[in-house]
Amino acid sequence: MRVIVCENYEEMSKVAANMVAGQLLLKPESVLGLATGSTPIGMYEELVRMNKAGEADFSKAKSFNLDEYYPLAPDNDQSYHYFMNEHLFSKVNIKPENINIPDGTAKDVQAECDSYEQRIAQAGGIDLQILGIGNNGHIGFNEPEEALHSRTHLTDLTEDTIEANARFFASRDEVPRQALTMGMASIMGARKILLLISGKGKHAPLKAVLSGKITTSVPASLLNLHADTVVITDRAAYEG
Ligand code: F6R
């Protein structure tokens, strides 16, 4: 695991955006694994700028998002579909048919999860996976548990996560209690992973990951088993 410590959020976002753009330059038809949440917003802003400047080309890229609240419709402004359109998809030259996000309205949840895994496999697997980390060490919505799921599944959100994500909703009661998420093997199958970590509040999970110890109570710690993970952190998260 390589660690890049940036001075601040802006630098972290630029370093990450440059890596995504570099990936697209090396392999224009790259399959990108994407995250939502506040951490990657600066990276998406920079990618939008680079796309307009001709420095990042999404025209042949495919994308798979990590997760989506359940049940939430794509046009709900709290959905991750909405978030991605707002921050990236509507502003760069990615083709709508190349965008994949778990369907938060699926009636047959198992069929949706199976189909999501099949679509990732048919695309040839994920080349570059972007991750954020939860205060509780989750990645995607793989919450700390005694046993983690390997593949895309429906999961209950922990109280920690509901609390942390309440800031995006009018009230805590409105935060969905469940989500569809890629599993640990879906994530670990990516050829390269960028884990973005920002802010003092993320010092504890970062420290747990960098300790090198692997435990399902910090799902991100499993990234220590991945052959090509780069942690990009700002100094606030690194030093605490
Ligand atoms: C988002 C996701 C989550 C977030 C994590 C951190 O798609 O899968 O794991 O990356 O909850 O969220 P922020 O960046 O809002 O602190």
Nearest residue by C-alpha to atom 4 in ligand 1: 132
Cα 132 to middle of ligand 1, angstroms: 5
Asked if 70 and 178 count as a contact pair (C-beta separation under 8 A), the reply is yes
Asked if 229 and 193 count as a contact pair (C-beta separation under 8 A), the reply is yes
**What value does the mean pLDDT take over residues 19-30?**
98
Task: Say which of 46, 67, 112, 117 is annotated catalytic.
Answer: 67
Which pLDDT score, from 0 to 100, does residue 119 have? 98
pLDDT above 90: percentage of residues in the chain: 100
Cα 110 to middle of ligand 1, angstroms: 23
Strands (E), 30-169: 31-34, 62-65, 67-70, 99-100, 128-131, 153-156
Structural tokens at position 157: 């959100």
The residues pairing with 180 across neighbouring beta strands, listed in sequence order, are 68, 154
Task: Report pLDDT digits (tens) over 34-58.
Answer: 999 999 999 999 999 999 999 999 9
Task: Report pLDDT digits (tens) over 133-183.
Answer: 999 999 999 999 999 999 999 999 999 999 999 999 999 999 999 999 999
